[in-house]
Each structure stands twice: as structure tokens, then as C-alpha cells.
Chains A and B, each alone.
Chain A
């Protein structure tokens, strides 16, 4: 947060990201930058992997595809016939800057995702983006180079995990994936995992809200054996939270940002969490170590 834009009178820039956003604001005529816009893009491919899980490929502009290339990228998607409350935050599974397309996996759960499923190839879908904060601990992902990385994936977490695997592979890491495909039958990313040279261990991770003994055992052994430069967790918060309790506090970690994104602009407040320092924080904008959010969250 910029201290001056938060109403203070002097710089106290402890979260500098490489540019002075106060300067950007002033040079923009004392106005905030424009919010992201909605774009209508055609669906060019749609596959039903199995019941209630679809893969959609959308042709987008080159700019949009390049903006969505990094791990943690997401967009809001909506059937153009629906009102804006139907905006569903969807992680980017793959962004192709050669063919200018994006691929997403959607688990059909409620009214938002089901209204998207009504659309077919050739029809246009409304996309708002790009957004970037879909992964917490991005710094740790980017710093993991030429080592062993451990990636824990459960269910639909496969989709946002794919750009992570790609990045880790590009940074010359050896990747070990622990996979729990619940609730699906088929793997979404088996080909890609091979492409990025990962070895995979299948294992059931959660039973009655607790980690299974088998999974705990695998984590402990793998961490000892691999001395990983990163443990990434792509699954529900419960999984991330329990895994964080299993690993050493100084181990670099990252995980899915499961905040309930609604506006994505730091305004509406639907993604807020209250951390132990009694501050309300917006997960759509806050980039931090997962421990700060998951272990430091106030339960009430």
C-alpha cells in the first residue's frame, strides 16, 4: 500500500514493487487508472472431460494472452446474456501467445459456472481482465531455480498449477508432483506434466477434514529426500493450511489464492480476510507469503 495514497503525508514505502504508484497517480491527472474492461471473445474449443468439468479455449487479443502468461493469472468470465453478478473468477490454465488463446478448466458447481456452460463453440464469452493475484507467495515461485520443487495438487487445483509447473520447468527445477484427483476420474493435465518433466505420486490427501497418514508420510519423506526450493500447494485452503503445519517455517511455500474474488479491483470487499494484526486485507490485491494469510487468519 502507498502511504501517500492512503492519506498520509510522507512516503513510508515498505512494499515497493519497483514503481512509484503515487507518481503514476499524479501524472494521470490525480485520477486512478481505468479499471479493467470487459471484452467479448469467441470460444474456439470446448471439451467435456467428464461430468461437471469442462475445458474451454477462447481466442483473445495478443495483449490479453501475454498479460495472462505468468502463474497466478486469472480473469472473470460470464455469459454475455447474464448480468454482472454472474462474473466468475477463473484461473488461467494455459495462455498461448503464438495462437493468442487462453485455456481454462471450469468445474460446474453453481449458477455462474453453469451459465457459462450454456455457451458453445463459435459463441462469444465476456471476459474481464487481466488479473494477476491468483497465487500467494509468487516471489517464492520466481526465486525457485535449478533445484527440486515439490508441487501438491488436488482436484481443480490442476488448472492454476499448470503455469506453476511451466515456470518451475523453465527455471530448470526437477519437479515432483503429489496428486489427488478427487473428485474427478480423469487427470486434466497428465500430458503437460510429462512435458514439464515431473514425476507424479498419487495419493489421497484429505479424509474427514484432516490429512491422511499416507500423505503426511509422503510429504515428510519427500522434503527430507529432495530438500525442495519450493513447496507449492494447489488445492483448498484447508489443504494448504494443514500442509503448512507439516513443513518447516523457513521453507519457501506458495499456494492458490482462494479468496472469493468478486470485483478484483480492491473495492467490493468480498475477498477480505482479517489477519492476526486486526487488519482487514483484500486478497485480490495482497501478495504475501501464504503463512501470513493462512496461519495468521483470525478464526472469528
Chain B
């Protein structure tokens, strides 16, 4: 039985692992030369409610990738404005390690291969069509192509291509396969009827920061610098994807995190203004290269799906990551991808798909995000364990805890311990 995964970001990688562990033959297609997509410029794990979700996933048997991010963490248990117990993985080390992990599992990796269309018969996907016209067939398909870009979207809904790590001009544009299969995409909004949202952070070259800032970053993981009074722009917060970081503190201060590069916690920031800040007189952007002008635009391509991650209206297409809802973050991508990969095998075998219970944060967020995308306000919200409205909900429903033993017992109580590492075939 063959599962074909399209998109090699955190979500696609997670889907590949769970599908493989369930016993399928797995082929993954990624248009760039690296796995992890925006995970190559991310880094923040376990902050706030993500801690609970991470431990739930480990107990559910889908902890492989968390073990790798934990192992490659530069800083553990740090706090920054609005966020507690964050772990920061090293973006310069994580990708090759994940790639080797997948190769060792025997997953077929096809890099620099772009998928542009699907072949469909009735409600079933027969195969995917590569940009060179080749047809690749499979039994079940998992689309984790994300919702970012391509250039035309970043131009229409943002400030143009800012040359982010996805490198569309070099590797070609993302194509929404669910939409190619005839299922219309949903979109996130940032204001009334303004579609999409900007990616929430940039990477600065550490070499261009003052010795003092670098020293503090490497010792503590965080540096907070005051923004000059005249440059504070509260309006910009609402354009942001990552609503958990859209706090007043992030407008009044420059927040830097050490993820290997210096992660600047703002969508984009004019270089000239950034250079007015003490210690940043020589600063340069690493991602996006044009971070002074804009950032990638996201949430323009969400497929309608059920809580088992299957696309509505198609029999054998599953989705994960941003493609599956207005989720933010690696943890959320790994969660949705893992479930999609696992259920891909279940559906093929005719076993009822796994739907995670709402007594777990990981089950609740999938159901909640799906419910909310139907509403106008819901399309303006983003769903993450790390903050904004969903973390509030976690607190209200007492889903949030950092007690690992408690999390394990919650998973055991619903008889789901290690469910996603079970071999089904």
C-alpha cells in the first residue's frame, strides 16, 4: 500500500513518519532542496500550551520529531514576553537531522520535484502529476503543501515576494492540489474581507549584531530592546499570522530569540528603522532577504476537512499543517500531519479513522479550529497552543498542564497510548 505525501514541511514529514510506522510504503515530494519548509526559519517549541500538546503527542506514539527538536535545542525553558517554558531548536542543525531520520526509516524522498495537478476518477485521486508531466500513482494521498505564497499571492495580499526560505522564484509556485481536485479552498482573513496574513517573524544575521546583544542572546536565548517612541506601530500587529505574538509588548519592543540566527519577532521591519536601535546599527536580514519590505503571506489555501483530516468530498486525500486549518506553528503542523499520515493507512484498510478526543488538547484544537473556520470571526483567528484565543480556551477547559505524568494518564484513560506507532499492515 502506497501513501504519497506532497509537501515536505513539518507536517508532511510527520505524516510520512506515522504512515511509515503504520506499515505503508511512503513517497514524499518536496519542491525545494530542503525538508521542513518554514521550519528552517522557525524554532520555537513547547512554549505555553505547546508543552502539553508535545507531551500528549509523545504519549500517543508520535513523538519522533519532538525528540529531534528537543535534542537540537539551543535553549530550554526560557521565558519571553507573554510566553513561558519555550524551547528553541537550532534552525541550522535540524533539517539534515530530520532528513537522515526519514531516510533511515526507509521513506522515499523526492526533493526538487514540484507537483502541479492530480488525476481524479469520481471522488478518488488516482495520482499526482509532476511539473514535468509525469504521473505518480498511489493509494492514499496526503497534501501538506501549506498555505504560503506563491509570488502572485504574496503580491496581491502582501507586499510582494520578499524572497523567503520557500524560494518560489527558484523552485516554482505551490499549487493547491485539493483545489485542483475540485474542492474549493477556504481562506483566513486578517481584517474584514482582507485575505491572508503575514508570517510573524524574520531572521537576522547574528554576525551583524553588536557583541553585547549576541552575548546576551547566546547566554539567555532572549533579548528585548526598546523601539524608539516614534516608530511604534500597533496597527501592524493585526496583519500578523502569529496572534500569540501580536501583543503590545511586541510592538513597543524588539524581541530577539536565539535559534541559531537571531529571530526577530515581527512580520517585517524597515531596515533603516531597525538600524536606529542600539546594537543593531549594522543589522542585515537572512530570512526573508527582503524582510525590510514584507514577509510571506499565508492562510490563502485551507482545505475543508473532517476531524480525521480527510478532505471533504474526496475519498483518499488527507491534509495536514496549514493546509488543514488556520493553525500556527511546528507543533500544530506535526500534530495534524501525524494524524493525517496515520489515518491515510487506516482508511485504506477500511478501519475507522482515528479521531482524537476533546479531552486532549490535541483533539480539541483540531475540532475547534474546524468549527471556527465556518464563522467570520473564526476565519480571523489563528489556532495555536502557544497563545491567542486557543491557549485561553486550554486554560478555561483545564487542558493546559505541564505535569507529564498527568498527560500520560489522560492519554491512557482514553486507551490511546502509543496508538500512532502501531503497525497496522
Q: Which residues of chain A have a CB within 8 Å of any CB of chain B?
A: 2-4, 9-14, 16, 18-20, 22-23, 26, 289
Contact = CB atoms under 8 A, between A and B. Distances in A.
B280 interface: no
Interface in B285-329: 300-301
Interface of B: 116-117, 131, 133, 149-153, 155-156, 160-161, 168-169, 172-176, 179-180, 185, 187, 195, 300-301
Contacts of A19: 169
Contact of B155 (A3, A9, A12, A26): A26
B129 to A, nearest CB: 9
A11 B152 contact: yes
Contacts of B150: 11, 13, 20
Nearest to B129: A14
A3 B187 CA distance: 17
B151 A11 contact: yes
Given A2-B152, A11-B150, A12-B175, 8 more contacts: A3-B152, A9-B156, A10-B300, A11-B149, A12-B176, A12-B179, A19-B169, A22-B155
A18 B176 CA distance: 18
Contact of A10 (B153, B161, B168, B180): B153
A12 B175 CA distance: 6
Contacts, number: 59
Main secondary structure of the interface of B (DSSP, over half): loop
B153 A11 contact: yes
B117 A4 contact: no
A117 to B, nearest CB: 42
19 contacts: A2-B152, A4-B152, A9-B156, A11-B149, A11-B152, A11-B153, A11-B174, A12-B175, A12-B176, A12-B179, A12-B180, A13-B173, A14-B117, A16-B131, A16-B173, A20-B152, A22-B155, A22-B156, A23-B161
A12 B118 CA distance: 13
Contacts of A26: 155, 160
A23 B172 CA distance: 14
A289 to B, nearest CB: 8
Contacts of B152: 2-4, 10-11, 13, 20, 22-23
10 pairs of A and B residues whose beta carbons are closest in the complex: A20-B151, A13-B173, A22-B152, A11-B152, A14-B116, A11-B153, A4-B152, A11-B150, A16-B172, A23-B155
B156 A4 contact: yes
A26 B275 CA distance: 30
B261 to A, nearest CB: 27
Given A20-B150, A23-B161, A14 B155 contact: no
Nearest to B179: A12
Contacts of A16: 116, 131, 172-173
Given A20-B161, A20-B169, A13 B155 contact: no
B194 to A, nearest CB: 12
A297 to B, nearest CB: 19
A82 B301 CA distance: 53
A16 B131 CA distance: 9
